[in-house]
């Protein structure tokens, strides 16, 4: 689709892009980012565990970055160009970045100390708690929460094509942004269908 304007996918609202019509390369999403983070090839994961988690960074989220679709050709890859894993607590966050290489994400090698990440900062408001779309398993391994997969499915093409549990649908409704009337109706309809 020409002129489709998609931005940085943050938090829950923009998990994947609906821009672009046909792709010959795989579309990468939240689970691909989590898989790359969890892989044995990602040396950063093993190095951050001893400091971040005991240091109070026990919440985690996954975010995707996307292109605008402008200037792409039919043979260009999916809109997803990168992702990041964000460890956070109530006050601050540390992010680790990955770039898309072919049909996979690859995390950057460490430039700073393990606990420094590639980017870090404080939350802009006291009430914000970060991208609550993943959870820690053991050490710093993570998994994407089912409600986030439901949102990713919806943002892929405007429909919920997969099958999700009643609990995932209810969690998606609970995580709807207050200004999301357009998607809120679709998510609530899905909740009514499966619950």
Where a domain ends, among 116, 144, 172? 144
Residues 85 and 58 in one domain: yes
**96 lies in which domain range?**
1-144
pLDDT of res. 90: 84
CA 102 to chain centre: 18
Q: How far is CA 161 from CA 80, 147, 154, 192, in A?
A: 20, 14, 8, 15
pLDDT of res. 15: 37
Where a domain ends, among 106, 121, 144? 144
Length of the chain as a residue count: 195
Residues 5 and 96 in one domain: yes
pLDDT of res. 139: 81
The total number of structural domains in the chain stands at 2
CB atoms within 10 A of CB 54: 9
Residues 1 and 58 in one domain: yes
Residues 133 and 155 in one domain: no
Question: Looking at the DSSP assignment, which residues form a beta bridge with residue 83?
Answer: 64, 98
Q: In the numeric block, which tokens belong to residue 66? A: 């996307």
Higher pLDDT, 1 or 182: 182
For residue 38, which of 174, 149, 144 has the smallest C-alpha distance?
A: 144
CB atoms within 10 A of CB 171: 18
Residues 123 and 33 in one domain: yes
Residues 36 and 88 in one domain: yes
**pTM of this prediction?**
0.75
pLDDT bin (cut points 50, 70, 90) of residue 10 is: very low
Question: Looking at the DSSP assignment, which residues form a beta bridge with residue 101?
Answer: 104
CA 5 to chain centre: 19
């Amino acid at each position: 689709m020409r002129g489709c304007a998609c931005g940085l996918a943050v938090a829950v609202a923009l998990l994947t892009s609906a821009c672009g019509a046909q792709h010959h390369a795989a579309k990468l999403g939240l689970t691909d980012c989590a898989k790359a983070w969890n892989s044995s090839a990602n040396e950063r994961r093993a190095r951050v565990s001893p400091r971040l988690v005991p240091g109070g960074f026990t919440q985690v989220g996954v975010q995707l970055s996307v292109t605008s679709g402008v200037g792409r050709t039919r043979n260009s890859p999916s809109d997803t160009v990168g992702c990041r894993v964000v460890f956070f607590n109530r006050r601050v966050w540390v992010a680790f970045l990955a770039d898309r290489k072919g049909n996979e994400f690859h995390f950057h090698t460490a430039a700073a100390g393990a606990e420094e990440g590639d980017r870090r900062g404080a939350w802009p408001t006291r009430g914000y708690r970060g991208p609550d779309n993943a959870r820690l398993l053991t050490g710093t391994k993570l998994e994407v929460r089912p409600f986030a997969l439901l949102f990713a499915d919806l943002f892929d093409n405007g429909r919920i094509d997969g099958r999700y549990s009643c609990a995932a649908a209810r969690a998606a409704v609970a995580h709807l942004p207050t200004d999301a009337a357009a998607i809120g109706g679709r998510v609530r309809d899905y909740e009514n269908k499966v619950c």
